[in-house]
Amino acid sequence: MHDITSALSVTFEVRGHPPQKTETLSILSAGHRQAERVRTLLLAALGAAQQTGWTPLRAAVALDIVVRGPEQHVGSAPRFLAGVADVLSDKRGRLTGTHLGVLADVTLFADERQIRSMSYREELGDEPSYLVRVTALGV
């Protein structure tokens, strides 16, 4: 699902669970145990950005995540929010190596400090997936 009704928000669905920030080692590091989740999120964000013509924001943003799966509780909301925010912000200067290739350039907003509103919700679903929405605030 992609929302192309507004240039002020981008919405996309991702299969699996979101990446979680659970340790001091960057989830963007080569070989990190969250590497597959990071790559899956970046591919979905790239597709949504290309489809909608999204350009990275430098103003305040809201980040909303809806996690779905057959389990009642799938993980830690703060860890999921931190992981998704980290992956979708500008990665320049935070990467070591070239393991992400062109995905290293996928950015929906410049810096995590731009996030002024965050929401997280879990819903029951047949398969693990999550919806991500980034919205420009105060525009």
The pLDDT of residue 99: 73
pLDDT tens profile 72-101: 777 899 999 999 999 999 877 666 556 777
Q: How far apart are CA 60 and CA 63, in angstroms?
A: 10
Domains of the chain with bracketed CATH: 9-136 (3.30.1330.70)
Strands (E), the chain: 9-15, 61-69, 115-124, 129-136
Q: What is the SS3 assignment for 107?
A: coil
Q: Are 101 and 46 in contact (CB under 8 A)?
A: no
- Per-residue pLDDT tens over the stretch 28-48: 777 778 889 999 999 999 999
